[in-house]
Every structure is written in C-alpha cells, then in structure tokens.
Amino acid sequence: DFKPVSMGRRQSLALALIASAAIAAAASGLASLLYDWRRRSVRAADLSLRRQRRRADLAEAKARFVESVKAATERAGLSPAEEAEILALPTAELVGRLQARTLDHRRVLLAYQRRAIDVDSRTNCAVEFLAPDWAGVDLDGPLAGLPVSLKDNFCLAGRDSCVGCSALIGRPAEADCSPVAALKALGGVPFVRTAVPQSMMSVLSSNPIDGTVRHPSAPGRSPGGSSSGEATLVAGGGSPLGLGTDLGGSIRLPAAWCGCVGFKPTNGRLTSQGFGAAAAGAQRLVPGTWGPLAPDVGGVALLMSAMCSARPGYQYRLDPELPPLDWAGDDCDGQRPLVIGYFVDESPHLFDALPCMRRAVQLAKSALESRGHRLVAWRLPDAPYFELYLRCVFSDGGRRLVDLLDGDEVSPAVRHSLDTARTPRWLRRARARAAAAYGRREAAVWLEASLGADADGGGVWHLAQRLADARRQFCFAWRQAGLDGLICPAGACPAVHLAPTSGSFTGALSFFNLFNTLNCPAGTVPVTRVTAEDLAEAAAAYPAGKSAWHRSVAAMHDAGSDGLPVSVQCAALPWRDEACLRLMAELEAAVARQ
C-alpha cells in the first residue's frame, strides 16, 4: 500500500537535496579553480621559457652586431674626427648634405650605429639593431638615407613587436606597418628598435624581456615612457630622428624628461595602419598616434613635412582613410607675430606643477615676448579632461590589459594598473565611493574611470558625447581669445626615480593627456634645468599634502633632481600641426638667443 511521506521526512529529503546541490556546486567550483590554476601554471611556464629564449636571442644578436660594426669601421676607415663631425650636424643640415651627396649615406649610418651602440651600453635603450635594407629604401627620397630609430611597436616584416609582453613573442609581423613603409619610400633607413615599458601602459621604463632603460644623463632617473628607448637614444646623440607613439604623453613626456624635442601630431594626420598590439589600442575615443623625436625642432618638422607633403604623397597612397591634407609650409615659416596663450595649473582639472615647471613657462613667455609675440594669460574651459581621458583609455574596464598579461611576469611599472583591472567591478565601485567619502579624490577618480565606458550607465555613446562637448567648448574658447598657439608646463615634474617607491603619480601626467583628449597637436621643447633654488622653493611651498599623488611627486623631487632637463609644452588647434611646429621653432630660437 502507498504510504505518504511524513513532513519530517520531506524536510530531511529537501535538506539532503540542498546539501547535495551545495556539495556539487562546491566541487564544480573547486574543479574550475583547479583547472584555472593548472591553465595559468602551464601558461606561465610557457611564457617564462619564451622570455628566456627571447633574451638569449637578442643578447646574441647584439653581440654579433657590435662585432660587425667594429669590422665595418676598420674597413671604411671612419676616423673619430669624421664621426664627430657627422654626429654634430643638426638633422635638417645632415639631410641636406645627404641630398647633395656631400656625405655618403653608408658612412653616416656607420657613425650613428657606433654612437647608438655606445648609448645602449650605458642605458639599455635598444631592443635590437637592424641591418640596413638598402634595396627597400629610396635614397632619392627627401630623407636621402637618413638613419631613423623606431619604437618597438612599429611592426617590421618578419620580426616580433613584443612591447615587453611575453604573449607576443613568436608572432612576427607579416609586413611592415604603413609608417615604416612610407618612411622607406621617403629615404629613411630604420637602423635600431628601442625599448618600452611592458604593454606601453606606463610612463616608466622597464619590462621583463628587455629590462630597464636608464636616463641618458642621470642614471638613477627614469627616461619616461612609453617611448623610453627613443627619447634616451635621441637625447644621448645616438639617433638623428626617432619615431615614437603617444596615447597620453608617450612621446612628449620622455622627450621632456631626457631633454630632446618630441611632437605628437593631430590623430589622423599620419598613416597608422599595421601597428603592434597594445593594451589600449582597440579603443577609438582617444586613440594613440605616432610622431617624431629629434635633437631639435628642425628634425621633427622635417619628418612631418616629408610625410604630409602632397608630393611625393606616399602615405596617402598607402592609407585610403587618410585625409589628403598638403603640408602648409608657410605656417611653419611665417613671420607674423603670434598671439600665444599660456597657463600653468590654474584649472582645478590640472595637477599642481613643481616650481621648476612653472618657472620654465615664465622663461618661455619672456623669451617669446622678446621676439615680438604677444603672450596672454588664458584659462582652460571648465571640463573634467583627466577623468574623460582615463575613462576613454580604460573604456573596456582594463580587460585587454588583463588578457595581454595573463600568466606573464609583471613589471612594477604596470602592476598598479593591472591590479586595478583585475579587481571585480563591484569592489572597484565600492572602493571609489569609500575614497570619495574620505576625501581621497584622486583615488576615487582613478577607480571610477577604471570601470570603463559603462561606469555612469550611459555607455560608449554617452562617453563619446561628453568628449565631443569638451572638445567643442575648448575650441570655442580658443577662438574667442584669438589664439595662434598655447604654451604650458611639460608635465608637473621632471624625471622621476628609476624605480619609484613613493607610490603612484598618475595625476602629474594631466598636462600631457589633456592634448590627447582634445586631439590637439602638441610638442615639447627644452627650456631650462632644475636649480637648487627650484628645490628649495618646492620644499618650502609645494602642496605635498594635497593628495597621495602630490606626496609622490614631492618625495621624488630631491637633491638628485638638480640639473635635470625642464621643457615647455606647445599646442595648437586640431589639424594645425604646422602652426604648432612654428611655435615650437620660435620658442627654441628665443631660448637659444637668451
């Protein structure tokens, strides 16, 4: 006979089923964790082996190259005096003599190979030296055989572009990226590739494959990043022209810290197809662009003119998406006095600059006025530029960075960003609210921005609209003031410690990424050096207690900062690259005269 189950037995059965389900879920979770641990262990071992092989291969190739250059020097009979004469020439004059055939392009290359080897031996700036591909270079082009150094993310056919990430080892490019193809067609000779911080998502200078790049004149300081090796090599005299990339100051900051000239063009002015992978490369709201570094403004202007001129127009044939804007050379060489705005850090959306950086702007102002230009104090329109920049760059919430470095040895230079990206979104949001409640505004801004485009519920479309509004507001205020150009600090501080221990200083970069956010052409020009008086004023008056970022900057501005280069940043409206370069040239000439 059928006997109904009692209530007590039903409860026991239900509890048993729940317990079984819980045990099954726990077992499944444990199995998943074990599988993930096993997967990560296997991947980490594989990446470690790749790194070891890559390091050994690069070291062996460098040793062979050094020996080959020694032999070539003996065969060519290149004397120290001839080498010194070649290396002393400004880039534009060097190209002029190559075009006139009063200098042999092979001897020029040999002189720079020798100097690049010397700079690398002191700074570790080079990833690999390149044998010249004379067959692929048009020596009748406007660059006429000029040696050109390349940042590691410029793809070359048959070679890896690892950018310090082990996952990218063994993935050679099928073809040259379009900037390199255009460079060769113009007569440029790629002769060395230079190091970057891991994933290029840092302004410091180390990665677990290539090691740490040191400052060319202050070994205990960082050369900056992410174009670390480029700025070091150019400032050290080892390259007459270098190519870097700039997502948030990655050309201008290392150029400023090392004491050479760097220029970030308007995004879209230069062809940029076929670049190597980067952690923030996929987002198109504030995309990175590439540009030149050189010992002087004439060198960067030379590259821009050659690339952008309708004749020969190589880059326009390579890249159908590029607007065919001819190079307006008259804007670079004009004689009309300029109306130049200037600011230091009066906006609440900019970081407090150290006294040496403020003094450099005042020096630049006086120098430009001495050449007949009119300088007017100008205030940035009120907009959250820094927050917009961070939110655009981390529009994916840091997912790309996490995937790229999965199982890899992680450099201290990128650890903070990676740890933030790995933190669950709900915890990031909670930490951001707690930071805001306790008055830690910088931490709140960083954590909120790291949540990506959906952080405020509006998604990418809303973020794009906010970005467009900020750009329109900026351009309208600029035109109302009747400005031709703008000068401001090249960052909040000079070169920092090689391996900072004082914490993050992300906010100090707001002067650089401002012009990425606005898509303005911008460049840096060396103006002065840190003095003992600057250090004393900073110790007495800098607001180190304002935030954790301020404390970090103040802690690194110590006695070792004395004598470091200090630059000023120049900018113009979008697509007015020629006007920006004219302002840079005027500033360089004015400072030289003073």
Tell me if 202 sits within 8 A of 414, measured CB to CB: yes
Q: What is the DSSP annotation of 266-331?
A: PTTSS--TTPPP-TT-S--SS--EEEEEESSHHHHHHHHHHHH-TTT-HHHHH-TTS--PPP-HHH
Catalytic site positions: 151, 226, 250
Backbone angles phi, psi at 565, to 5 degrees: -65, 145
User: How far is the CA of 361 from the CAs of 270, 315, 319, 378, 489, in angstroms?
Assistant: 29, 36, 38, 13, 6
> What secondary structure does DSSP assign to 481-524, as a single string?
HT-SEEEEESSSSS--BSS--S---GGGGHHHHHHHHTT--EEE
Distances (CA, A) of 554 to 252, 452, 509, 558: 21, 30, 14, 8
Q: Answer whether 537's CB lies under 8 Å from 355's CB.
A: yes
Total count of residues recorded for the chain: 594
> Can you give 412-447 as a three-state secondary structure string?
HHHHHHHHHHHCCHHHHHHHHHHHHHCCCHHHHHHH
Which residues 6+ apart lie within 8 Å of 110 measured at CB? 69, 72, 73, 76, 78
- Report the C-alpha gap between 420 and 433 in whole angstroms: 15
Q: How far apart, in whole angstroms, are the C-alpha atoms of residue 354 and residue 535?
A: 9
**Sheet of 522-529, strands arranged across:** 126-129, 188-194, 146-151, 242-246, 289-294, 261-264, 522-529, 565-571, 485-489, 339-342, 374-377
